[in-house]
Homo-oligomer: A and B are copies of this chain.
Amino acid sequence: MTDFFKGIAPIRHEGPETANEFAFRHYNPDEIVLGKRMEDHLRFAVAYWHSFAWPGGDPFGGQTFDRPWFGDTMDLARMKADVAFEMFDILGQPFYCFHDADVRPEGATFAESKRNLDEIVDYLGQKQEAHKARLLWGTANLFSHRRFMAGAATNPDPDVYAYAAATVKANMDATHRLGGQNYVLWGGREGYETLLNTDLKAERQHAGRFLQQVVEYKHKIGFKGAILIEPKPQEPSKHQYDYDVATVYGFLVEFGLEKEVKVNIEQGHAILAGHSFEHEIALAASLGIFGSIDMNRNDYQSGWDTDQFPNNHAEKALAFYEILRAGGYTTGGTNFDAKLRRQSLDAEDLILAHVGGMDTCARALKCAAALLESGELEAARKARYAGWDTPAAKAMLVGTLEQAAARVTAEGIEPEPRSGRQERLENLWNRYL
């Protein structure tokens, strides 16, 4: 046991009225919501990178956090894992996620990096056996090291493609070994800084082929989890190929992968792409590619990814409503891809930020579930489209443009619009918040 969280007991549910900061007010793992335990609905995961690897820097300043495990040795990497699992025990969340770069020191060569990863994966495996938390997903960091500055699979240098392949393979193996439920690819530098030096077509072809190879390898090793793409429009790249859910869908169909790959949707990324979080979830669900979410909030006044812990249940309820409508997660979960503000220096901040985030999500889930259970919103939606249930309407979709057109004259159609009732539906929502 390290003493980083000394004096902080496991967080328990005490109900909405508690004034105890170190208690859940809404998250109650065993509470049944729509016939399922809340823990099984939410499937929370802690992100290793933000909580244990990020030093608190931003583009205008360096490290603010003092963490005893910061440094580049295997001993420190093990201490980091010890502290991580201590936090997991305190929070009681069922999952965590990592990139290779979060858990092991970079080696001088690929072989050394790989050895470091293998060792730490062994150690994480031991931790998993002794603790509750399991791996929701693993992923490779293909963006921080300078070798990836111009992309990984889309790099102009084929050696980097090879290096990326070796790195992803190593991380898929590690994820598989740890029983991870998904494998994620976020292409932070799969894009460009300027079109002037970019072969857009070749890069997209390489990215597509790379993803096919990943899927083929998944099947080869018998990995049963989902392969997930995480869309983001930009940052760090000026333009990133996996811009948003609709873009990723087009990409998957182009490369024959729409049945093989799903999306991991992040709220902050949705906002940067000009969408609401719930839009991206609803769209993915309607396209059959909804996988998992990266939960955070973005500051609407900041033009970059702020990755803050969620704190507005009214907003998140819209997202969970779409997740519930889609049938909930299968292999996916609610990963807190959220980081402390860099001024939040203390161990308590790290715990309480997660407590607040978990409570926000739990409250949002309960609101969404209650509304879904009531059927009130779905009844209103159904009523609005009821005209499409008629045989004549269905026939129009089967027939030709002329046949549809002919109805106008034949039936003297002059459509009279009906109220969309948006404000009334918003009021309905508020009854459940």
A149 touches B301 (CB 8 A): no
B343 touches A61 (CB 8 A): no
A197 touches B421 (CB 8 A): yes
- Provide the residues of chain B in CB contact with A111, threshold 8 Å: 409
Nearest B-chain residue to A299, judged by Cβ: B238
Nearest B-chain residue to A408, judged by Cβ: B166
Within 8 A of B (CB), among A114-143: 143
- Provide the residues of chain B in CB contact with A380, threshold 8 Å: 197
- Cα A374 to Cα B393 in complex, Å, equals 58
B250 touches A404 (CB 8 A): no
CB A18 to nearest CB in B, in angstroms, measures 8
Of the residues B161, B168, B406, B431, contact of A19 by C-beta under 8 Å: B431
Q: Is A384 an interface residue (CB 8 A)?
A: yes
Of the residues B62, B400, B417, B430, contact of A313 by C-beta under 8 Å: B430
A274 touches B301 (CB 8 A): yes
- Provide the residues of chain B in CB contact with A301, threshold 8 Å: 234, 238-239, 271, 274-276
Q: A168-B401, A279-B239, A303-B272 are in contact. Are A417 and B19 (CB under 8 A)?
A: no
Which of these binds chain B: A29-37, A74-82, A85-93, A355-363? A355-363
- Provide the residues of chain B in CB contact with A271, threshold 8 Å: 300-301
- Cα A303 to Cα B42 in complex, Å, equals 32
4 nearest A-B residue pairs (beta carbon): A303-B303, A250-B250, A343-B420, A165-B404
